[in-house]
């Protein structure tokens, strides 16, 4: 089993974590290494293993608790392991799978777990599995069902890549199918049938004319979106199709819940049958909460809206403010070119240490 030095510089710890392959569903080795390291090097923490998730927390009687969470898994390897480095000093880059999403963030949290023995808030660290796959396998969901007390706190910080800037809240997401029906006929006698694909012209026109809302919450602007993402239909090259399906993705601001988003889509596509395929509520930024305001101040007041969905929504659903804050450019996540600046790892660590220190 690989050994991890949690007291090493977070940049070096990032390299050690990246070099432990942990594609979703195969996190046992990295979870073993994290568990062993925490038990040996952070005796001030209570440590619990839960499947391939590792949980650790202080019990110092502080008046508030901060939950810091990071997933241990990655997408499949794409000829981008082991880690390599380029440049030096402030120009140094770490290249490899997971550098951005999100072992740089994990390294920061693990170093804090081992070195911050007298924090000003009680701390809970959650290193979990299966974030990069379907939601029902997500380790946070399992922990919420079976160990819910481990996810309670006054603020959650998820170490997802955010360019080293606090990203507050997140958008909700909904995917729907719009179905149309026609009647089959031979294409040589097309007037005898009704082309279901052609009937998608009207909903597609509505999509083309759609103007998304821009919503300001806590001084942050969340822009919504509505996009066709797939069209299917037809049975043969010489048959008028009798059914067609248009799949639409809706990203909605966190001032709307799932039911409000569903009602909005029903209004946009009035007259057409809609089926919700999947949906996830967003998360309000909650920047007025004391712990969140302290973190924003520690980060120099820089904060941005999260335009996308992350696991902060799981914490928001538990009634607590939650932010994304981690090193790395999220647009590089899941790409073969994934890389993170060493100085950004260090910067995120310094902000969190300042925020959490007594």
* Catalytic center residues: 73, 131
What is the token pair recorded at 41?
């090097």
Cα distance between residue 219 and residue 88, in whole Å: 38
Separation between Cα atoms, residue 338 and residue 325, nearest integer Å:
18
Query: For residues 275 and 266, what is the distance between their CA atoms, to the nearest angstrom?
Result: 10
Pairing of strands 166-168, 303-305: parallel
- Cis peptide bond N-terminal to 276, omega within 30: no
Q: For every residue of the chain, which 3-state class applies, written as one string?
A: CCCCCCCCCHHHHHHHHHCCCCECCCCHHHHHHHHHHHHHHCCCCEEEEECCEEEEECCCCCCCEEEEEEECCECCCCCCCCCEEECCHHHCEEECCCHHHHHHHHHHHHHHHHHCCCECCEEEEEEECCCCCCHHHCHHHHHHHHCHHHHCCCEEEECCCCCCCEEECECEEEEEEEEEECECCEHHHHHHCECCCHHHHHHHHHHHHCCCCEEEECCEEEECEEEEEEEEECCCCCECCCEEEEEEEEEECCCCCHHHHHHHHHHHCCCCEEEEEEEECCECCCCCCHHHHHHHHHCCCCEEECCCCCCHHHHHCCCCCEEECCCCCHHHCCCCCCEEEHHHHHHHHHHHHHHHEC
CB-based contacts of 91, cutoff 8 Å, min separation 6: none
């Amino acid at each position: 089993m690989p050994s991890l030095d949690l007291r090493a510089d977070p940049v070096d710890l990032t390299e050690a974590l990246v070099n432990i392959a942990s594609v979703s569903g195969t996190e046992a080795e990295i979870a073993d290494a994290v568990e062993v390291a925490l038990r040996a090097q952070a005796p001030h923490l209570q440590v619990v293993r839960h499947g391939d998730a590792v949980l650790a927390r202080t019990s110092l009687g502080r008046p508030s608790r901060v939950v810091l969470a990071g997933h241990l898994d990655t997408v499949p390897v794409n000829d981008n392991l082991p880690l390599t480095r380029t440049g030096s000093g402030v120009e140094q880059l770490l290249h490899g799978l997971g550098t951005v999403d999100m072992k740089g963030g994990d390294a920061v949290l693990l170093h804090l777990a081992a070195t911050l023995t007298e924090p000003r808030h009680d701390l809970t660290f959650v290193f979990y599995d299966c974030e990069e796959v379907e939601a029902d396998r997500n380790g946070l969901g399992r922990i919420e069902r079976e160990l819910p007390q481990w996810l309670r706190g006054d603020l959650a910080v998820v170490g997802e890549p955010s360019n080293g800037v606090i990203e507050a809240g997140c958008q909700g997401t909904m995917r729907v199918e719009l179905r149309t029906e026609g009647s089959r006929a031979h294409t040589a006698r097309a007037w005898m049938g009704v082309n279901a694909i052609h009937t998608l012209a009207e909903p597609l026109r509505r999509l083309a004319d759609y103007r998304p809302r821009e919503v300001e919450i806590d001084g942050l602007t969340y822009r919504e979106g509505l996009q066709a993402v797939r069209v299917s239909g037809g049975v043969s090259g010489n048959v008028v199709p009798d059914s067609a399906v248009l799949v639409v993705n809706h990203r909605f601001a966190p001032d709307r819940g799932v039911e409000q988003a569903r009602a909005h889509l029903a209004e946009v596509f009035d007259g057409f049958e809609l089926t919700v395929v999947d949906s996830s509520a967003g998360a309000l930024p909650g920047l007025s909460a004391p712990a969140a305001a302290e973190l924003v101040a520690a980060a120099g007041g820089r904060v941005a809206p999260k335009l996308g969905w992350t696991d902060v929504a799981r914490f928001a659903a538990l009634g607590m403010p939650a932010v994304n804050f981690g090193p790395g450019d999220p647009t590089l996540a899941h790409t073969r070119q994934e890389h993170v600046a060493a100085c950004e790892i260090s910067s995120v660590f310094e902000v969190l240490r300042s925020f959490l220190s007594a």
